[in-house]
Structure formats: structure tokens, C-alpha cells
Amino acid sequence: MILRADKGLVVLTVAVLSTLSWWFPLRMGPAPVEAPPAVETRHIPDFFLSEFDLTSMDVAGAPRYRLQAQGMTHYSDDDTADITAPRMTVFRAGSAPWLASAGRGWVAAGGETVKLMDAVLIERPTRGTDQGLEIRSEELRVWPAAEFAETEHPVTLQNTLGVTRAVGMRADFKDDVVELQAQVRGEYAAR
């Protein structure tokens, strides 16, 4: 009889444990859903261009601006491009165009913004009554379609009247307006 009680105790223990093993997971709730593994986006080039020349036209077919460079590397993950030795020309009807060049540049997705870096030079050549102007900085953001540019970096403006230095600049190429932001100092030649 003692053996039967031990067998009964073993059967009862197994039954209780199997019931608990079924009941505990139900009490704890459903198993957490594992998130799918994160997709890693890599910033790798999808194509390269060498010696390219891009001209944007207005609705009448007249050139608005031109972007030339020694090379371009395009990235598909964010549709941006790095450019080497960029040269920009912003055309204006009846006036001298604005010219900009730099050591390197970056073009935002859709081409709405162009960032020029390293020895940026902006020129407005002398033409007719337009006086020549040269602007130097280390960085410049340009919105070609809006014919507008700006920087928070130091700038140096030079023309036949003298040299002006400042920190920060906004340039409206359409209206030939250059606005200096802060710490403006000039040296002018007496006539």
C-alpha cells in the first residue's frame, strides 16, 4: 500500500505540474512579438559622373542657372550628391551673370539647395553699368531656382572702391542685393 501511495503522489505531482505549465503562460499573457530586424541603410554611391554640365531653363527656354563640376558622386539612400570643383552661373536677363566656384560642394535631394565649400568665390563681372564685385568665403548655401545665397561664415567683398569684411551674408542675385550680417568693416580708397 505504501508503494501505491507513492505512485499516486507521483501521478498527482505530475498532473499538478503539467496543469501549472499550461496555466502560467496563459496568466502571463501572449509572448512578446519580436520586432523585425532593422534594415540598415548604407550611404554608398550608386553612380558617378565625370566632367558634367547641367543647365536649368525657365518656362520660356532661357537658361536660369548652370552647374558644372569635375566630378559627382550620387547616393541613392538620400538622393544627395557630392561634387568636386563646382562652378555655378546664375543668369539674369539684361545684366551680368553671377558666377560661383569652390573646391567642393554638396547637392540636396531634388537639387533645390547647393552647398559650396572650401575657398568659395562669387563674382559679378563688370558689364555695362554693372560694377564688378568679388566675394570670398569658406562656405555658401545657394538656392539656384530662387537666385538666393547665404552664409554665416566670414566673407570678404572686393570691388574698385575697396575691401569690406563681415561675418554672415545674404545675396539676392535677382535684385543685385548683398546684405552683410555682422562685424562689418571696410577699407576704401580715396578718389
Smallest CA-to-CA distance from 111 within 140, 75, 63, 143 is with 143
Q: Which domains does the chain have, with CATH numbers?
A: 45-188 (2.60.450.10)
Q: State how far Cα 76 lies from the chain centre.
A: 13
Q: With pLDDT > 90 as the criterion, what percentage of the chain qualifies?
A: 38
Task: Tell me the pLDDT tens digit for each residue of 110-143.
Answer: 888 999 999 999 998 876 666 788 999 999 999 9
Asked whether the beta carbons of 73 and 85 are under 8 A apart, the reply is no
Predicted pLDDT at 27: 61
Task: Tell me the pLDDT tens digit for each residue of 36-56.
Answer: 776 667 778 888 889 989 888
Among 11-20, 23-32, 72-81, 165-174, whose mean pLDDT is lowest?
Answer: 23-32
Asked whether the beta carbons of 99 and 132 are under 8 A apart, the reply is no
Question: Is pLDDT at 8 greater than 80 in this prediction?
Answer: no
| Rg value, the chain, Cα | 34
Asked whether the beta carbons of 86 and 111 are under 8 A apart, the reply is no
Task: Tell me the pLDDT tens digit for each residue of 132-173.
Answer: 889 999 999 999 888 899 999 999 999 888 899 999 999 998
Average pLDDT along the chain: 83
Asked whether the beta carbons of 69 and 89 are under 8 A apart, the reply is no
Contacts from 170-177 at CB under 8 Å and sequence distance 24+? 171/98, 171/122, 171/135, 172/147, 172/148, 173/90, 173/92, 173/98, 173/147, 173/148, 173/149, 174/92, 174/147, 174/148, 176/95, 176/124, 176/130
